[in-house]
Amino acid sequence: MSIIDPNNIPPHHLHRVLLSAVAPRPIAFASTIDSMGKANLSPFSCFNVFGVNPSTLIFSPSRSGRTNELKDTYHNVKEVPEVVINIVTYSMVEQMNLASTEFPRGVNEFFKSGFTPLPSEKIKPFRVKESPVQIECKVRQVIETGDGPGAANLIICEVLLIHVNDKVFDKTGMIDTRKLDLVGRMGADYYVRASGRALFTLEKPSGKFAIGVDSLPENIRMSSVLTGNDLGRLGSLQSAPTAPEIERFLTSPVFRTITTKNSGNIEKITEEAHKLAHAMISNNELKEAILLLLATSSLDVRDL
Ligand SMILES: Cc1cc2nc3c(=O)[nH]c(=O)nc-3n(C[C@H](O)[C@H](O)[C@H](O)COP(=O)(O)O)c2cc1C
């Protein structure tokens, strides 16, 4: 591992390291207006949701790393503390990228990028018609983290109203991630498209108890066949097989086949059992997999 001390590298290098590592980031396509009512639209990936009571979104138009200048979005929310945060889908990326051009203050990026401004209901800045989720917010607080190049300015927003295109709802009235086709920002010029094979599900741990990886015997934890994900799934079981269950499994056809085939060779038996357990885990057969593994690790050369 290399060690990077943020105090010993140039800020542009640090920016690259952190933004590559802390990714993918969602994109806030922020629509604001200045005190003269001039519209502005810019993307910010230093953005996330931090709570729902009160509902809190934070994004950061930071000071320019090159010129130390403050961004128009920052000036606008100081003048008019309101913003519409529009989410960005794959079909919007090219125009969104165009809107990030550092046009002079007062230039309307809705027109430059070709997006359609829609009036909001509770605040003055416009919504982006093409975005399937448009969030009207009031700005509660602005925190400047520094005054040098690259310093963040945290715009802390409270949600007033959320507009959702009906097309992205599922049958239960919840937003269906598969219908959104969101994009996230990675390091350098990389983005990620959150759709198709890129999406996967992971069930939340079911109860208040899990046996934990630490309860597995060392030869299972140190297996060269089982992966960290395999161990994670075994460790999330709510109970381990009992000694009589393991004892019974020793006489099962599947276990007998492995031991007979590799007669007496404990390394080969272990390797084959771990390979089979790995396949069983991928197949959601967790109970069988842990029985096979524990039965194998209970074997003593004398038993063979
Ligand atoms: C996808 C994307 C994400 C961006 N994220 C940020 C960010 O989090 N903070 C930032 O200061 N600039 C970010 N930028 C650059 C700004 O969008 C750019 O500086 C823009 O011109 C600022 O506009 P404004 O001066 O009108 O506010 C991002 C650009 C893109 C394309």
Q: Give the Å distance between the CA of 64 and the centre of ligand 1.
A: 9
> Three-state SS across 71-123?
CHHHHHHHHCCEEEEEECEHHHHHHHHHHCCCCCCCCCHHHHHCCCEECCCCC
The span from the CA of 17 to the CA of 102, in Å, is 23
Which of the listed residues 71, 189, 191 should we mutate to test ligand 1's pocket, taking the one with most ligand atoms within 8 A of CB?
71
> Does residue 207 carry a pLDDT above 90?
no
> Does residue 304 carry a pLDDT above 60?
no
What confidence category does residue 229 fall into, taking pLDDT thresholds of 50, 70 and 90? very high
User: pTM, whole model, 2 decimals?
Assistant: 0.93
Q: If you take atom 7 of ligand 1, which residue's CA is the nearest one?
A: 44
Q: If you take atom 10 of ligand 1, which residue's CA is the nearest one?
A: 61
**pLDDT digits over 258-272, tens only?**
999 998 799 999 999
> Does residue 302 carry a pLDDT above 60?
no
Which of the listed residues 45, 79, 94 should we mutate to test ligand 1's pocket, taking the one with most ligand atoms within 8 A of CB?
45
**pLDDT digits over 64-83, tens only?**
999 999 999 999 999 999 99
- Span 196-217, average pLDDT: 92
> Does residue 277 carry a pLDDT above 80?
yes
**pLDDT digits over 119-157, tens only?**
999 999 999 999 999 999 999 999 999 999 999 999 999
What confidence category does residue 206 fall into, taking pLDDT thresholds of 50, 70 and 90? confident
Q: For position 300, what pLDDT does the model report?
A: 67
Protein residues whose CB sits closer than 6 Å to any atom of ligand 1: 27, 40, 42-46, 60-62, 71-73, 97, 100, 102, 185
Let me know how long the chain is.
Answer: 304
Please count the CA atoms within 13 angstroms of the CA of 212 that sit on its side-chain side: 4
Q: 151 CB contacts (<8 Å, ≥6 apart)? A: 62, 63, 144, 145
Of 250, 88, 299, residue with least CA distance to 183: 88
- Span 194-221, average pLDDT: 93
What confidence category does residue 299 fall into, taking pLDDT thresholds of 50, 70 and 90? confident
Q: Where are the domains of the chain?
A: 6-198, 213-303
Q: Give the Å distance between the CA of 84 and the centre of ligand 1.
A: 15
Is the domain defined by 6-198 classed in CATH 2.30.110.10? yes
Q: For position 264, what pLDDT does the model report?
A: 77
| Average model confidence (pLDDT) across the chain | 96
Q: Give the Å distance between the CA of 189 and the centre of ligand 1.
A: 13
Q: For position 303, what pLDDT does the model report?
A: 58
Q: Give the Å distance between the CA of 275 and the centre of ligand 1.
A: 48
Q: Are 143 and 59 in contact (CB under 8 A)?
A: no
Q: If you take atom 31 of ligand 1, which residue's CA is the nearest one?
A: 97
Q: For position 232, what pLDDT does the model report?
A: 97
